[in-house]
Amino acid sequence: MTLRFIGTTSDDGDCPTLYDIEDTDEILVQGERETNPEHLAQLRDVKGSETFVRVPRSLLTRYAPRNDAPELQPFAAISHLFSDFKHTAWRLETRRGYASDRNSPKWPRFLAGEDIARGPDNAWRDNVRAQTTQGKRFERVRLVDDPPTQGQEFLLASAPSNISAGEDIRYLTRTQSQGLRLPEYDFWLFDSKVLARFAFDDEDTTLGVYVSQDPAEVLAACQARDAAWHHAVRTEDFARRVRSTV
């Protein structure tokens, strides 16, 4: 079963952290092991398989679930949000590849070494241009491995089309992401209010999204956005860095 990072109050590598155990109704708590013999003597109904950890109250207060777990919805269910948002649509991309990219007509051209930086407008770019003309922002941070995967190279090569439409796309290494304790799942965050977290199968195909306005989940996404955006570099700078290592 997969663990999903919920949030932490850690500083400088301290450990208090919460994880959701996906496909269950359980939470995994990470903290300092309780060793005080007086405390241990007061615990009740202890099984041999159980252990006990200490976590700050603020961790539970900040990230305790407040709403029922959201249900998986088709991605089309959030299509209206890409025009209805008021200020910012922000995306974190964490995967090493996407089935939608491999199924794109640009994929074989990319494999053949053709330039895919520019292309005709489509519905996505038309909407980006329409929204950014109104002063709204489309922003995303893409995590990249060292060396980049083929899927990550494809996205870097094709990024100029989206950037010319008005997106601000930036890049962050996976090592940096791990140091910042960013989530390991993709999401869109709209106006710091609505979170749409992606679900994928083992073949990188989008299964749908979990949509939430739970304050704890939205706060965690906002914190991830702020940390990622601070450290990420613009596409043109990252592309030069990649070319210099080839």
CB contact set of 87 (below 8 Å; sequence gap of 6+): 136, 137, 191
Cα–Cα distance measured from residue 167 to residue 206, given in angstroms and rounded to the nearest whole number: 22
The band of 12, judged by pLDDT with boundaries at 50, 70 and 90, is low
Who wins on pLDDT, 30 or 2? 30
pLDDT in tens, 121-156: 899 999 999 999 999 999 999 999 999 999 999 999
Instruction: Report if pTM > 0.95.
Output: no
Cα–Cα distance measured from residue 188 to residue 88, given in angstroms and rounded to the nearest whole number: 10
Residue ranges of alpha helices (H) inside the chain are 37-41, 57-63, 81-84, 99-102, 106-111, 123-133, 150-165, 174-180, 215-231, 235-245
Cα–Cα distance measured from residue 26 to residue 31, given in angstroms and rounded to the nearest whole number: 16
Length of the chain: 246
Predicted pLDDT of residue 176: 96
pLDDT tops 90 at residue 245: no
Cα–Cα distance measured from residue 20 to residue 23, given in angstroms and rounded to the nearest whole number: 9
Predicted pLDDT of residue 231: 97
Q: What is the mean pLDDT of residues 23-50?
A: 88
Predicted pLDDT of residue 4: 82
Of 115, 126, 109, nearest to 166 (Cα)?
126
Q: Tell me the pLDDT of the chain averaged across its residues.
A: 91
Cα–Cα distance measured from residue 177 to residue 171, given in angstroms and rounded to the nearest whole number: 10
Burial class (CB in 10 A: 0-12, 13-18, 19+), 45: exposed
Do the Cβ atoms of 89 and 124 come closer than 8 Å? Answer: no
Dihedral angle computed from the Cα positions of residues 23, 26, 31 and 36, in that order, rounded to the nearest 10 degrees: -150
Would you call the peptide bond into 147 cis, given omega within 30 degrees of 0 as the criterion? Answer: yes
pLDDT in tens, 117-129: 988 889 999 999 9
Residue for token digits 């952290």? 17
Predicted pLDDT of residue 216: 84
Do the Cβ atoms of 151 and 157 come closer than 8 Å? Answer: no
Bridging pattern class, strands 206-212 and 72-73? antiparallel
pLDDT in tens, 169-215: 999 999 999 999 999 999 999 999 999 999 999 999 999 999 999 88
**Backbone torsions φ then ψ of 98, nearest 5 degrees:** -135, 135
Q: What does DSSP assign to residue 102? A: H
pLDDT in tens, 51-75: 999 988 888 777 766 666 789 999 9
Query: Residue 157, SS3?
Result: helix
